Amino acid sequence: MSGSDSAAAATGQAATGTLDAARAWLAQDPDGETRAELRAIIEAAESGDDEATADLADRFAGRLAFGTAGLRGELGAGSNRMNRVLVAQAAAGLAAYLIEKASLAADAPGAAVAPSVVVGYDGRRNSHRFAQDSVELFAGAGLRAILLPRLLPTPVLAFAVRQLGAAAGVMVTASHNPPNDNGYKVYLGGAEEGAQIVPPADSEIAAHIQRVADLGDIAALPRSLGYETAAESIVDAYIEATAAVAPAPVGADGFRWVYTAMHGVGWETLSRILDIAGYPQPEPVTEQLNPDAAFPTVAFPNPEEPGAMDLAFETARNAQAELIIANDPDADRLAVAVPDAGVDGGWRRLSGNQIGLLLGWQAAKHAAATGAVDGASLACSLVSSPGLQAVAEHYGLDFHATLTGFKWISRAPGLVFGFEEALGYLVNPGTVRDKDGISAAVAMLGMVTEARSRGAGLTDLIEEFDETFGYFSSDQIAIRVDDVSQISRIMAALREQHPSAIGDVAVDHIDDLLDGVDGLPPGDVLRLWLADGSRVIVRPSGTEPKLKLYLDVRGESSDDAAARIGALSAGARAMLEHLG
């Protein structure tokens, strides 16, 4: 057999294997929509349609990986998509993991005989269906399964895990991902205090999920309608606790501000909190206020994306507002914008670092004022602004830099505040052990209205921060790729030959976090320290096909910081172009 014949035979065998996998998947799929979708693709592939064959190959090239963010991906049929088969396998695998852990702890005092799991869901396509499947499978496995009473923000689910003493929680959401995505985020209770999963739990759960998948028939999994629906009191408790984060100061009346929920689930909960905390209701972006799984006004429902806040800017101009606050669709992130006559449209969105530094400053001042400094700490991801460390040192607090993600930030010892530059903030760790865009919004309103009562605004607070702690400036470069292997090639090239300079500034030394640095768990991250104290961090995105670079400088003045970050950004882009 010639080489070309051997290649053709191998291709044919692969196609046959993919068709077999697709037919097996079809046989167990309980969803009429994805069954019809997959059946049509199989039939087209069987008739020799190359496009359908390639589509099948993509859908069954592997499985959506279950990692420290659980599952997240595009909706559709196949093992490489989010669907009811994959969710059923995940629920059964998580149930098996919890039962195993409970069995191992059976001799411990107070060990639970039947672990409990609480499940929440947002307004995305299939979120309710995936949540319903999950509680039925949890109950069928013998767990105490609790479904939140309606679609709610992710922080309410994280709160409920602790409030109900659950062994675990599941939130069905894809957060700020594109409209046709969904996801399955897992939290652990007990000693984990309602934080997201970290190794080794993620790999242990994934192994159980794989065992379920290998059986090949989710119809054989036991189900039960014997689950509970959580009482409204759990939502009420979250609202009361969050309103207490920052009750409105005297003089908050008359404050004009705009709010957008980005077609998500934040508004109902936030509006009730505002009444209890004493803040005036905002001028809403009505087109984006209520949950809508189609996200009709935004191509990408992420407040960081260009154009996502245009309707909020328009609403604010018409209302002559003083502030804009936005949540992402599941309300675990917060975006803030301020009036700025120097930019087109008259409004400027603050960066995640600017918001995080202001909220961290507020938390540190409160800790110092209440005498709660000993053992208290501020924490942020290692790609977030080093300015938070300056705040911690100023007030005598501990500081922790963690790997990216709130699964790590929330575990910092003595935490009173944590943030990551991607619009995530933890302002009330005693209530929610995860990022929470609603409590962060309340904290921001408290800070802004207090400043307003003395004639200052948010931009004045930023200037005061700079004068107190230093002129920190940050930038980010994100390279989206079609072939994720390109990211691996760039990371490998950087490791093989470290750059000697970025732009005109020499590289002083490089930390490779694959080796573990500063007590951090190993991670695919390179941290480049420059001779002038600037910093460049390179890492693959954990949720998107992107390579990300995070740039940080500290200047002698705002103009100096701006010049330094501009030069560093140009140098970093030139480095990437050289690497190809």
| The pair of three-digit structure tokens given for residue 136, joined into one six-digit string | 């039925």
Q: Are 360 and 378 in contact (CB under 8 A)?
A: yes
Residue position matching structure tokens 């882009």: 573
* Cα–Cα distance, 442 to 381 (Å, whole number): 22
| The pair of three-digit structure tokens given for residue 226, joined into one six-digit string | 């014997």
Concatenating the DSSP letter of every residue in 190-221 gives GGGTTEEP-TTHHHHHHHHHHHHHHH--GGGS
Overall residue count recorded for the chain in this entry: 580
List 347's β-bridge partners, or say none: 339
224 in active site: no
Q: What is the three-class DSSP state of 460?
A: helix
User: Quick one: CA dihedral 299, 303, 307, 311, positive or negative?
Assistant: positive
Phi, psi angle pair for 2, to nearest 5°: -70, 170
| The pair of three-digit structure tokens given for residue 161, joined into one six-digit string | 């895990």
Concatenating the DSSP letter of every residue in 38-53 gives HHHHHHHHHTT-HHHH
List 425's β-bridge partners, or say none: 419
Cβ of 5: how many Cβ atoms within 10 Å? 9
* Cα–Cα distance, 268 to 164 (Å, whole number): 22
Burial of 108 (0-12, 13-18, 19+ CB in 10 A): exposed
- State which H helix or E strand residue 473 sits in: strand 471-480
How many CA atoms within 13 Å lie on the side-chain side of 94?
33
* Cα–Cα distance, 32 to 195 (Å, whole number): 35
* Cα–Cα distance, 185 to 11 (Å, whole number): 36
Nearest to 72 by CA among 88, 94, 87: 87
* Cα–Cα distance, 479 to 464 (Å, whole number): 34
List 187's β-bridge partners, or say none: 169, 196
> Please, what is the end-to-end C-alpha distance for the chain in angstroms?
39
For the chain, counts of helices (H) and of strands (E): 17, 22
List 204's β-bridge partners, or say none: none
* DSSP character at residue 90: H
Q: Which of 79, 127, 175, 439 is catalytic?
A: 175
List 33's β-bridge partners, or say none: none
How many CA atoms within 13 Å lie on the side-chain side of 350?
25
Active site residues: 175
